[in-house]
Amino acid sequence: MILQSERLTIESLDYDDADFIIALMNTPGWLRYIGDRNMHDHPAARAYIDDQRQYNEKAPMGMYAIRLNNTGDVIGICGILQRDYLQVPDIGFALLPEYHRRGYAREACHMLMDFYWSQGRGQLLGITSPDNIASQQLLLTLGFERSTEVVSSRDLAIFEIHKRYKG
């Protein structure tokens, strides 16, 4: 699967993205809101990339690279995951800090959501840490609404969307 807008391309991660994965997963925001994934070397990054590429075979599942069209640089990841503790898939996204607040995450998520619904898919969740206000605001901007659902044993803020957003 390759999705493209004027500024961005969403495509599968490849082994050349290993340094990016290590950098992203060790940013202060990732460590604070997502957690330490012990991603410190190329073998670990390549294993993560392999896992995501296996999910990608079930498009749009798994995490994908977000690349700038003008440079080809990978600036973040976004994707849709089916977690074992949720009944419905959720959308995820993360960008390197220098690319925050430029509309890239919103643009990438819009493309992915369009593709998701073009495949006849239904409900989609967004989950964040309760104190990750920036991600919660993005989910609301994307058309999600705060859910009253509670996931036991998980400290999460949950948002849901039942139909295609008016984006």
Residue 22 is predicted with a pLDDT of 98
Please indicate, yes or no, if residue 166 is contained in any of the structural domains.
Answer: no
- pLDDT surpassing 80 at residue 156: no
pLDDT at residue 166, as a whole number: 43
Average pLDDT over residues 6-18: 97
Q: How far apart are the first and last CA of the chain?
A: 21
What pLDDT is recorded for position 154?
58
CATH number at residue 12: 3.40.630.30
**What pLDDT sits at residue 161?**
67
* Degrees to nearest 5, angle at CA 97 with 145 and 142: 20
40 occurs within a structural domain: yes
For residue 14, what are the β-bridge partners? Answer: none
CB 2 within 8 A of CB 9: yes
Residue 36 lies in a domain: yes
- Give percent of the chain with pLDDT exceeding 90: 63
What value does the CA radius of gyration of the chain take, rounded to a whole number of Å?
A: 15
Instruction: Evaluate if residue 8 carries a pLDDT over 50.
Output: yes
Question: What is the residue range of 74's domain?
Answer: 3-161
Q: How confident is the model at residue 155 (pLDDT cuts 50, 70, 90)?
A: low
* Cα–Cα nearest to 59, from 141, 132, 114, 126: 114
Q: Considering the domain boundaries, does residue 95 fall inside one?
A: yes
Q: Is residue 25 part of a domain?
A: yes
167 domain residue, yes or no: no
pLDDT digits (tens, 9 = 90+) for 75-113: 999 999 998 888 889 999 999 999 999 999 999 999 999
Q: Summarize the confidence of residues 147-165 as an average pLDDT.
A: 62
State how many domains the chain has: 1
What is the pLDDT, as a whole number, of residue 167? 44
Global pTM reads 0.89
Task: Please say if the pLDDT value at position 138 is more than 80.
Answer: yes
Q: Is residue 118 situated within a structural domain? A: yes
**C-alpha dist (Å) from residue 103 to 36, 60, 110, 128, 141:** 26, 21, 11, 18, 11
Please check whether residue 67 lies inside any domain of the structure: yes
